[in-house]
Chains A and B, each alone.
Chain A
Amino acid sequence: MVSTHARKAPPVEPLPEIAVATLRLIYTRMVQTRRFEEAAARLFTEGKVHGTAHFCVGEEATGIAVCAALQPEDRITATHRGHGQSIGKGMRLDLMMAEFLGKETGYCRGRGGCMHIADFASGSLGANGIVGGGIPIAVGAALSQRMQGLSSITACFFGDGATSTGSFHESVNLASVWKLPVLFVCVNNLYAMSTPLRRQANIADLAFRGQAYGIRSVSMDGNDAVGIYRAAREAREYVRENGPMLLVLNTYRHMGHSKSDANVYRTKQEIEEWKKRCPIKRMRALLVAEGLFTSEELDVIDAQSAADVEEAVRFAEASPNPRIEDAERDVFKAGPA
């Protein structure tokens, strides 16, 4: 069941079975994510950001295309590198940017920042600052779905680094034993901070780690947005009927681990090679080649995305900080849940 990591882009396939609106959504949200992170990086250089950020530039296809295959009632747990996962689940750029800047108008009132951003209304149970920390939470959310008789699923994002944690192994096993509707999505960007995959795991493919727990495990090209969408759509159906599955998406982050990363552990050549496989460029070429969109139509989407992000930045910058007298608010919830 493990397919080998596709290192070359597959030949262009016809897309008749995917709605044009869905393709537009995936493309738009990938571009929004890229622009969002570029704006976030700029705000850093302008000294307007307190804290750090982990950018998913180069990995946008993973969060966006998987979430495009989910239904609104499905839930996700996101990672510290989760902007694409959040945007994919339908979270708003302005409220995300406000959270990034720590403002009271942000999704978490500026208490969590982007590393701990959540929007329970749209089904995002939170990004997580602890690598692997969200995996058991996703299992619990899927347990709720099962016990409440819902037909929705939970998609659980984590990176290659997380597959070395006990949290991953305990959680995948538990979900497997209980046959819970969890889609485990491993965004394998080949590095756990600076440690390359070959020094993290002595196996040919991370999908083996799912097989060990008796669950269907598939490994695939993580820069092919359309392919991921197809796989995730199928996986969602599989998971609802049969219990958990692991989808390993093999990709690469173009930027460093976080803002403080000098990229000394990998070569410029390697980074440049992967930049050629940019998932946004690739989807653009596919949509144009298939005659579904013209280049000009996609330019309009690009421009609109940039404008939306700039509007989000304006909103965030104009928003108030939380009040100091509210620092103790929400440690505990009062009254019945």
Chain B
Amino acid sequence: MREITYAEAIREALCEEMRADPRVFLLGEDIGIYGGAFGVTKGMVQEFGEERVRDTPLSEHAITGAAAGAAMTGMRPVVEIMFSDFLTIALEQLANQAAKACYQFGGQVSVPMVLRTAGGSGTGAAEQHSQSLEALVCHVPGLKVVIPSTPYDAKGLLKSSIKDPNPVVFIEQKLLYRQKGPVPDPADSYDIPLGVADIKRAGTDITIVTYGRMVARCMEAAETLSEEGIDAEVIDVRTLVPLDRTCIITSVKKTGRAMIVHEACQTGGFGAEIVAVIADSEAFFHLDAPIRRVAGLDVPIPYNPVLEANVVPTVAKIIAAAQELVR
């Protein structure tokens, strides 16, 4: 199979959906001739024109709300919010308007929009350009939340997100944009349904539940652990809302041990929800050890590279936590 980057896979999904459906269009800051801050939309304005690849003023609130309004009236907008930190600026329109329209209007309307944004640390962009804010949006009923970990998943999940009748927050991972991975030829188009986790590595001794950039670290940790005779199962939930509870519960019943790994701060993080899913289920009776979280420290992301690298889970920390649980 050919290999393309995560950014290319996202671009392919956007282009395929725009070619297939004239209602799909893009809006965001510097997505036209500049090609997007991370180059995802490079070349798209040349193919689709300025009407469908719309550069906007620096108005995250208004462009998110305009997308919601367009989605309610027959279009299928895809908004790019340059950094997920700027979700905080768009949040009123996302959480109070887009998320609630279907419910508060008694099912009269749906809001088929996608908000793409880039999350995560590791670029030296420090406190205001490095956050992992997924828990913020997961807490608002009416929003679906997707965080892909590979080019293959990014393409298939984005295609499903664009076709979904509901607002989807699609959180891309900055450090993955240039990572390559196998993706079928465009002729072999595929969608990945939202709400289906992917077992990235099957194992019998411990379940590691994770998503996004941490999937690769958990896979690396699992390889090291296997050399020590610990056979880890790595579950990439892929979509946080809806969450594939069955996959998680089934795995923990099998392994009897569970840990959750995410880059976001621990307190109030989505890992707590996954812990609760396990503890609230019959998997609880199969546990041989406490459920463990390996998450970012409860600090803003610092600028200094040594500090930055050490406030989020490292492979070593993941390995150590797993060893402790299996011991």
A137-162, CB < 8 A from B: 137-145, 147-148
B280-295, CB < 8 A from A: none
Kindly identify which residue among A108, A109, A171, A337 contacts B65, using a CB–CB cutoff of 8 Å.
A171
Q: Contact check, B65 vs A136: say whether CB atoms are below 8 A apart.
A: yes
Kindly identify which residue among B66, B67, B104, B165 contacts A335, using a CB–CB cutoff of 8 Å.
B165
Complex contacts, A167 vs chain B, CB 8 Å: 61-62, 65, 92-93
Does B112 count as interface, using CB distance less than 8 angstroms?
yes
Q: Contact check, B93 vs A136: say whether CB atoms are below 8 A apart.
A: yes
- Cα A221 to Cα B57 with chains together (Å): 33
Complex contacts, A130 vs chain B, CB 8 Å: 92, 96-97
B82-108, CB < 8 A from A: 92-93, 96-97, 100-108
CB nearest to B166 among chain A residues:
A332
Kindly identify which residue among A77, A136, A143, A178 contacts B64, using a CB–CB cutoff of 8 Å.
A136
Does B193 count as interface, using CB distance less than 8 angstroms?
no
0/1 per residue, B44-84, Cβ < 8 Å to A?
00000001001011010111111111111111110000000
Does A84 count as interface, using CB distance less than 8 angstroms?
no
- Cα A170 to Cα B105 with chains together (Å): 25
Given the interface contacts A137-B97, A167-B92, A336-B163, does A173 sit within 8 Å of B59 by beta carbon? yes
- Cα A336 to Cα B75 with chains together (Å): 13
A159-211, CB < 8 A from B: 166-167, 170-171, 173-174, 177-178
Given the interface contacts A141-B69, A332-B166, does A174 sit within 8 Å of B51 by beta carbon? no
0/1 per residue, B139-150, Cβ < 8 Å to A?
001101000000
0/1 per residue, A104-125, Cβ < 8 Å to B?
0011111110001011100001
Does A12 count as interface, using CB distance less than 8 angstroms?
no
Kindly identify which residue among B54, B72, B105 contacts A137, using a CB–CB cutoff of 8 Å.
B72
CB nearest to B98 among chain A residues:
A137
Q: Contact check, B62 vs A136: say whether CB atoms are below 8 A apart.
A: yes
- Cα A337 to Cα B113 with chains together (Å): 10
- Cα A334 to Cα B61 with chains together (Å): 27
CB nearest to A142 among chain B residues:
B69
Complex contacts, B109 vs chain A, CB 8 Å: 118, 120, 125
Q: How far is the CB of B308 from chain A (nearest CB, A)?
A: 31
- Interface size, B (range): 35 or more
Specify which of A108, A138, A147 lies most central, judged by the most chain B CB atoms within 10 Å of its CB: A147
- Cα A133 to Cα B101 with chains together (Å): 12
Does A135 count as interface, using CB distance less than 8 angstroms?
yes
Tally inter-chain residue pairs, CB-CB below 8 A: 155
Kindly identify which residue among B57, B69, B110, B142 contacts A337, using a CB–CB cutoff of 8 Å.
B110
- Cα A112 to Cα B106 with chains together (Å): 7
Complex contacts, B96 vs chain A, CB 8 Å: 129-130, 133
CB nearest to A130 among chain B residues:
B96
Does A75 count as interface, using CB distance less than 8 angstroms?
yes
Does A333 count as interface, using CB distance less than 8 angstroms?
yes
Does A8 count as interface, using CB distance less than 8 angstroms?
no
Q: How far is the CB of A55 from chain B (nearest CB, A)?
A: 21
- Cα A147 to Cα B54 with chains together (Å): 12
Given the interface contacts A125-B73, A173-B59, does A332 sit within 8 Å of B144 by beta carbon? yes
Does B270 count as interface, using CB distance less than 8 angstroms?
no
Does B152 count as interface, using CB distance less than 8 angstroms?
no
Q: Contact check, B92 vs A174: say whether CB atoms are below 8 A apart.
A: no
Complex contacts, B62 vs chain A, CB 8 Å: 135-136, 139, 167, 170-171, 173-174
Does B25 count as interface, using CB distance less than 8 angstroms?
yes
- Cα A136 to Cα B79 with chains together (Å): 14
Q: Contact check, B105 vs A144: say whether CB atoms are below 8 A apart.
A: no
Q: How far is the CB of B302 from chain A (nearest CB, A)?
A: 29
- Cα A126 to Cα B111 with chains together (Å): 13
Does A276 count as interface, using CB distance less than 8 angstroms?
no
Q: Contact check, B107 vs A109: say whether CB atoms are below 8 A apart.
A: yes
Given the interface contacts A111-B103, A118-B105, A120-B105, does A139 sit within 8 Å of B165 by beta carbon? no
Does A329 count as interface, using CB distance less than 8 angstroms?
yes
Kindly identify which residue among A110, A111, A133, A332 contacts B97, using a CB–CB cutoff of 8 Å.
A133
Q: How far is the CB of A34 from chain B (nearest CB, A)?
A: 26
Complex contacts, B141 vs chain A, CB 8 Å: 331
Q: Contact check, B104 vs A144: say whether CB atoms are below 8 A apart.
A: no
Kindly identify which residue among A75, A107, A136, A334 contacts B68, using a CB–CB cutoff of 8 Å.
A136
Complex contacts, A75 vs chain B, CB 8 Å: 73
Q: Contact check, A141 vs B59: say whether CB atoms are below 8 A apart.
A: no
Q: How far is the CB of A36 from chain B (nearest CB, A)?
A: 20
Complex contacts, A336 vs chain B, CB 8 Å: 163, 165
Q: Contact check, A112 vs B144: say whether CB atoms are below 8 A apart.
A: no
Given the interface contacts A139-B62, A171-B66, does A148 sit within 8 Å of B163 by beta carbon? no
Q: Contact check, B103 vs A170: say whether CB atoms are below 8 A apart.
A: no
Q: How far is the CB of A177 from chain B (nearest CB, A)?
A: 6
Chain A interface residues toward B at CB < 8 A: 75, 77, 106-112, 116, 118-120, 125-126, 128-130, 133-145, 147-148, 166-167, 170-171, 173-174, 177-178, 329-337
Can you name 24 A-B residue pairings with CB atoms under 8 Å? Answer: A108-B104, A110-B106, A111-B103, A116-B104, A116-B105, A130-B96, A133-B96, A136-B61, A136-B69, A137-B68, A137-B69, A137-B93, A139-B65, A141-B70, A143-B75, A145-B73, A167-B62, A170-B59, A170-B62, A171-B62, A173-B59, A174-B66, A332-B165, A332-B166
Q: Please provide the 5 A-B residue pairs with the shortest distance between their CB atoms, ordered closest to farther.
A: A140-B69, A136-B65, A337-B165, A109-B106, A170-B62
Chain B interface residues toward A at CB < 8 A: 25, 51, 54, 56-57, 59, 61-77, 92-93, 96-97, 100-110, 112, 141-142, 144, 163, 165-166
Apart from A136-B62, A144-B73: 19 A-B pairs, beta carbons within 8 A: A108-B104, A108-B108, A111-B103, A126-B105, A130-B92, A134-B97, A135-B62, A137-B97, A142-B69, A143-B66, A167-B65, A170-B62, A329-B107, A332-B142, A332-B144, A333-B107, A333-B110, A337-B110, A337-B112
